[in-house]
Amino acid sequence: MSAGMKVWKKDGSLLFDTEKITYGLLKSGYMSYLLSWPRLEYRSANLPPNSGSSYSESSVVDAMHGFSVDGAVAPIVFIVGSGISCGSSKTGNTTTFYYIGASPSTKFYYFDTMRNTLFGAGMKCFREVDEVLTFNSLQVPLNIVSTIKAPAPPSPVSAGGVATYSVPFAGASRLATRFINSGVYYCVSRVFIPIGSGEFATATTFSRSFGQAAMDSMSAGGTFPARGNQQAHMDGAYGADGGIYFMSCDAARTTMYWGAQFTYNAYYSIPTDRYPEALVIRTDNLPFPFN
């Protein structure tokens, strides 16, 4: 039998096993503005929707915020403050993470497989079969305190045979807001889920895409119903003091289409066979900023 060590949390769940690779905090800080992605415009309803030439880039742009790291292997990013993950890109050894609906006030905590770094007094464990490092006591280990599924939407209302919803999550509030002073207005729905005292951060397993009927009057302080651009919406989650928010907002790089609104219930085609889940951690004992 090989040598090893297992550590359990107070609730009896496993915290780490030296035979398995443990995730550790490698970087934390505030997001930075990276670049802007233009939204798209559908040139004409008579053009084939599956052709790139049927679309043109709009003057409306979305500010993308995020951060970069070197040597990412299997990253997990937790955030505090608004933001929805829009994927990542890799150039050489550098990976950049992008977020829509974020700002320079959004905090990130980047975890990845533990590394053989940070030399000093401590303990390092290696897998016997291939001598890969599995645990480094000089790094802060990832500790998931909760997993929360997004609330289902409220009951739909039929509009022209289409099921529409007032909000994507039951109990959510809806507002028009900017995430940065110079940015465009976003149509936002969000719902707060209390967990306890202290600050929490979340990482979502995936985001859904669904339809957003015309809401343009919101940016001018108007009310529903309105006529304006229909476009894609996307959802995600972020941490806050005392709990987490599930949030949805205008999708990055969405195609805007001028069309008639449905009804006051302004969201449609929401996938109800799956819901994003938020992995939740506490940030109280995590170093910030940290690199």
Tens-digit pLDDT profile for residues 93-151: 999 999 999 999 999 999 999 888 767 667 888 877 777 888 888 888 899 999 999 99
Of the pLDDT bands very low, low, confident and very high (cuts 50, 70, 90), residue 90 is very high
Q: Is 121 exposed, middle or buried (CB count within 10 Å of its CB: 0-12, 13-18, 19+)?
A: exposed
| Cis? peptide before 225, omega within 30° of 0 | yes
Beta-ladder partners of 180? none
Task: Please check the confidence at residue 226 and state whether its pLDDT lies above 50.
Answer: no
In one-letter notation, the amino acid at residue 29 is G
| Cis? peptide before 289, omega within 30° of 0 | yes
Range with lowest mean pLDDT among 13-27, 85-99, 186-200, 206-220? 206-220
Of the pLDDT bands very low, low, confident and very high (cuts 50, 70, 90), residue 228 is low
What is the DSSP secondary structure assignment for residue 93, as one 8-state letter? Answer: T
Of the pLDDT bands very low, low, confident and very high (cuts 50, 70, 90), residue 180 is very high
Mean of the pLDDT values across residues 239-261?
A: 86
Please identify which residue in the block is written with the tokens 């919406």: 233
In one-letter notation, the amino acid at residue 274 is R
Which residue from 262, 168, 180 is spatially nearest to 207, judged by alpha carbons? 168
Q: Annotate 34-88 with DSSP letters as a single string.
A: EEEEEEEEE--TTS-TT-GGGEEEEEEEEEEEEEEEES-SS-EEEEESS-EEEEE
Tell me the CA distances in angstroms from 146 to 193, 196, 198, 203, 265, one per residue in order. 12, 11, 14, 11, 32
Task: Please check the confidence at residue 220 and state whether its pLDDT lies above 60.
Answer: no
Compute the distance between CA of residue 216 and CA of residue 239 in angstroms, rounded to an integer. 28
pLDDT at res. 125: 83
What is the DSSP secondary structure assignment for residue 276, as one 8-state letter? Answer: -
